[in-house]
Homo-oligomer: A and B are copies of this chain.
Amino acid sequence: MKKNNSNQRPLILVTNDDGIHAPGLKTLMEIAKKFGDVMAIAPNEGRSGMSHAITIKYPLRYKKLREEEGFVFYSCSGTPADCVKIAINQILDRKPDLLLSGINHGSNSSISVVYSGTMGAAIEGGLHAVPSIGLSVTDYSPSPDFSAAILYGERIIEKTLIDGLPEGVCLNVNFPRLSAGDVRGIKICRQARGLWVEEFDKRSDPHKRDYYWLTGYFENYEPEAEDTDEWALKNKYVSVVPVKIDFTDLGAMEKLRSSYAKART
């Protein structure tokens, strides 16, 4: 795959996990067009909660939906991570300069990063050494106010295009549920410790067989910690968490090494 040469406009790969019709995707494509040529590819239906899932058992299909000068838009039958793989490996003839995933309808802060299809796509981009940003509004409605995402998203995108990102890192950006004018700025944060406390909503189908809807609420284990994404969002900041693509816990590695070494003697 060819590298971009400096005379070309940046090539920006855009994807999401809410599917091709999501207002968040439309907004992100418009933002991306200001910064470069755009190749957008999104699942043909919503694929929320898909994490970093890939499609192994079924074949993938993709289709060009629209093309105009500096912009092309595809749908794909796979997951968000599949979209990134097929774009980079099959469709594009040069490496993207930036990957943008979103704008997700709903928060991906704290532990939601592990379930998020938006962040699965961003991590996949990072794996391919493309500076990658997942963007989410903490608003689950179908028509959220994107003004803060536009204003602050553009700042983060511009900065990332200029500076790049540290190797093996992508960004998890969440916007508070506020209009741009009410946002206090950007905070670089760590992922808050917390858990989705599940309550399964049990129902009975017309054939008297039980089924269960996964539901629940988020519990923040450290609501007072000012360096976390949850604190930032609650205090009207945009949260930016650098996500490490290497999941090794180096501290635990040392501890386990000495523990296993002792067990051997």
Interface size for A (C-beta < 8 A) is 77
B249 to A115, Cβ gap below 8 A? no
A212 to B51, Cβ gap below 8 A? no
Q: Interface stretch among A8-16, A24-32, A92-100, A185-193? A: A185-193
A48-B56, A52-B51, A212-B61 known; A247 vs B114 contact (CB < 8 Å) = yes
Indicate if A33 sits at the interface (CB-CB under 8 A). no
Q: Which residue on B lies nearest to A248, using beta carbons?
A: B190
A255 to B128, Cβ gap below 8 A? no
- CB-CB under 8 A from A159, the residues of chain B are 259-260, 263
Partner of A166, one of B62, B214, B245, B255: B255
Number of copies of this protein chain within its complex: 2
List the interface of chain A (C-beta within 8 A of B): 46, 48-57, 59-62, 81-82, 85-86, 88-90, 111, 113-115, 117, 120, 123, 127-128, 159, 163, 165-166, 168-169, 185-186, 188-191, 193, 195, 198-200, 202-203, 209-214, 240-253, 255-257, 259-260, 263-264
22 sampled A-B residue pairs with Cβ under 8 A: A51-B54, A52-B114, A53-B117, A56-B214, A60-B211, A60-B212, A61-B210, A86-B212, A89-B200, A90-B212, A111-B127, A111-B245, A189-B253, A190-B246, A240-B256, A240-B260, A241-B247, A242-B248, A242-B249, A243-B249, A244-B249, A247-B247
> In the bound complex, how far is the Cα of B246 from the Cα of A50, in angstroms?
18
B56 to A49, Cβ gap below 8 A? yes
> In the bound complex, how far is the Cα of B55 from the Cα of A48, in angstroms?
9
- CB-CB under 8 A from A166, the residues of chain B are 249, 251-252, 255-256
Chain A at the B interface: SS class: mixed
B128 to A195, Cβ gap below 8 A? yes
A242 to B253, Cβ gap below 8 A? yes
- CB-CB under 8 A from A56, the residues of chain B are 48-49, 214
CB distance from A13 to the nearest CB of B (A): 15
